[in-house]
Amino acid sequence: MSPIIEINDVHKNFGHLKVLNGVSFDIERGEVVAVIGRSGSGKSTMLRSVNRLEKIDRGRLVVCGHVVSDPSVDLHQLRRDVGIVFQSFNLFPHLTVRENVALGPRVARKLGRAETAKISEAALARVNLLEKLDVYPEQLSGGQQQRVAIARSLAMEPQVMLFDEVTSALDPYLTGEVLGVMEDLARGGMTMLVVTHEMEFAKRVANSIIFMNEGRVWERGPGGMLDDPQTLELRQFVGKT
């Protein structure tokens, strides 16, 4: 079986700034890959390119069979297959938790009322928030809001989930509950690409870790690679000299 995500020599500039400089890696179905690296190393840009929030300049990018690097890619299908969760939760403030989660199934997937309700509630159950169905985002803690955002993506029943530093805006206690949900997802077999600063989480949950530097995959390996860096840059990053 071919990989569910294939990234091959991807380049991307913002003006004169080279942000992605030949990124290549594959992810198999069911794999959990953590992406680490200094701020500014291109992690977010890489992740956003995967569901085409950013257009790449050069290279080949195939996700769930959609050729993302082809300008005529079917964005609708791509986004149905790929979920993404951001650092800022980006919930819709005028909608209740239930409505936030139901929007995708109802409007984009055009499902009926009953099926939408079933899927939304199943998604909220997976993030342990069934008791908050009818409250508004502003009535929730940051950790709860982020879990709603995860449920909102899950309700699309995606094949791949992307996470971009989803706990960076949370205090340690709330971080724990969000990481817990992500760990459950990983154990449930979801394919995940996770940009994170949580080294313990990366080591424990990810099948492999990618260290990005200067817009490239600098090192890739299992969790153990953090204890035995092969490059000076990774050694500096994990704080060993």
Partner 1 sequence: MSYQFEFADVLEQWPLFLKGIRLTVQLSALAVVFGFVVGLLTAIGRRSDTPWLAWSCGAYVEAIRNTPLLVQIFIVYFGFAALGWKVSVFSAATAALIINLGAYTCEIVRAGMDSINKGQIEAAECLALTKLQIYRYVILVPALEKVFPALASQFVLLVLASSVTSQIGAEDLTAVASRIQSETFRSFETYITVAIIYIVLSYLARVLFWAVGLIVFKRRRRLGLAF
Residue 145 contact among partner 1, Mg ion, ligand ADP, none, beta carbon within 5 to 8 Å by kind: none
Kindly tell me which of 28 and 214 has the beta carbon lying closer to ligand ADP. Answer: 214
Residue 116 contact among Mg ion, ligand ADP, partner 1, none, beta carbon within 5 to 8 Å by kind: none
Tell me the three-class secondary structure of the chain, residue by residue.
CCCCEEEEEEEEEECCEEEEEEEEEEECCCCEEEEECCCCCCHHHHHHHHCCCCCCCEEEEEECCEECCCCCCCHHHHHHHEEEECCCCCCCCCCCHHHHHHHHHHHHCCCCHHHHHHHHHHHHHHCCCHHHCCCCHHHCCHHHHHHHHHHHHHCCCCCEEEEECCCCCCCHHHHHHHHHHHHHHHHCCCEEEEECCCHHHHHHHCCEEEEEECCEEEEEECHHHHCCCCCHHHHHHCCCC
> Residue 102 CB, nearest distance to Mg ion (Å)?
29
Decide: is 18 part of the binding site for partner 1 (CB under 8 A).
no
- Calculate ∠ Cα 63-186-157, nearest 5°: 55
Decide: is 123 part of the binding site for partner 1 (CB under 8 A).
no
Kindly tell me which of 39 and 72 has the beta carbon lying closer to ligand ADP. Answer: 39
Read off the tokens for 157: 């029943």
* Residue range at the interface with partner 1 (CB under 8 A); choices 91-99, 173-181, 200-208, 216-224: 91-99
Within residues 18-77, the interface with Mg ion by CB under 5 A covers 44
> Residue 84 CB, nearest distance to partner 1 (Å)?
5
Kindly tell me which of 43 and 126 has the beta carbon lying closer to ligand ADP. Answer: 43
> Residue 53 CB, nearest distance to partner 1 (Å)?
6
Decide: is 41 part of the binding site for ligand ADP (CB under 6 A).
yes
Residue 79 contact among partner 1, Mg ion, ligand ADP, none, beta carbon within 5 to 8 Å by kind: partner 1
What is the C-alpha to C-alpha distance for residues 100 and 123, in angstroms, rounded to an integer? Answer: 11
Using the rule CB under 8 A, which residue among 4, 43, 86, 219 binds partner 1?
86
Sole residue written with tokens 């069934």: 130
Which neighbouring-strand residues pair with 25? 7
Using the rule CB under 8 A, which residue among 59, 136, 142, 177 binds partner 1?
136
Decide: is 16 part of the binding site for ligand ADP (CB under 6 A).
no
Kindly tell me which of 17 and 108 has the beta carbon lying closer to partner 1. Answer: 108
- Which residues contribute to the site for Mg ion (CB under 5 A)? 44
- Which residues contribute to the site for ligand ADP (CB under 6 A)? 14, 17, 19, 37, 39-45
